[in-house]
Amino acid sequence: MDKGIESLASALGATVTEQEQSINVKYVAPDEYTNSQMEQMLVSLQPLLDRRDIVGYAAARNTRVLRSECMEYLKRRDELISKYGEPEIGEDGSPTGNSRIKIGSDGYKSFCSEIELYANIKHRPNLFKISYGEVIGKMSGNEILDCEWMLIDGDA
């Protein structure tokens, strides 16, 4: 054992013991996702963010990772929506400050044409995965289906 660690532990009033442990670690290589897939993954995590359990933790961590991975794509998407979209009008009849694109419109076709290049760029985000056993009884069937990409067989 390292004498420096022993000295530090002693100064703190602690003792250090070495113990050999057999730990069963399952390595999960990062999967590859396109920007558009990661955008949909972000949408699927939204309903889970208020949870205060391991599912909420996974949702928060994966939201942060996914936003970081596709930040430039989301920015470009928003720029193109502003460029090709129409101002969104609220229930009171005044503009909300947002833009939206109607499917089938000329603006939508132009948007799709320009965003396609960015939407298909692939990344390997380091996502937190949970075992199916951990989420049974914590997530609904629909939530499991929506977030199946963050579930693994066996122990997480």
What does pTM read for this prediction?
0.73
What count of Cα atoms within 13 Å lies in the side-chain half-sphere of residue 4? Answer: 0
Query: What per-residue confidence (pLDDT) applies to 20?
Result: 44
- 86, 95, 28, 37: which is closest to 66 by C-alpha? 37
Facing residues of 136 across strands? 139
Q: In this predicted model, what pLDDT tens digit does every residue of 5-64 receive, in sequence order? A: 555 555 555 555 544 444 344 445 678 999 999 999 999 999 999 999 999 999 999 999
Going by C-beta distance under 8 Å and a sequence separation of 6 or more, which residues neighbour residue 7?
Answer: none
Average pLDDT over residues 80-100: 90
- 77, 83, 84, 85: which is closest to 115 by C-alpha? 77
3-state class (DSSP) for residue 85? coil
Which of 23-37, 48-62, 85-99, 136-150 is predicted least confidently? 23-37
Instruction: Judge whether 127 and 57 are in contact, CB under 8 Å.
Output: no
For residue 139, with 0-12 CB atoms within 10 Å meaning exposed, 13-18 middle and 19 or more buried, which class applies? buried
Going by C-beta distance under 8 Å and a sequence separation of 6 or more, which residues neighbour residue 20?
Answer: none
Backbone angles phi, psi at 99, to 5 degrees: -120, 155
Mean pLDDT value across the chain: 85
Is the sign of the CA dihedral 52, 56, 58, 61 positive or negative? negative
Please tell me the distance from the alpha carbon of residue 28 to that of residue 83, in angstroms, as a whole number: 40
Give the β-pairing of 130-131 and 151-152.
parallel
Query: What per-residue confidence (pLDDT) applies to 17?
Result: 54
74 has pLDDT over 80: yes
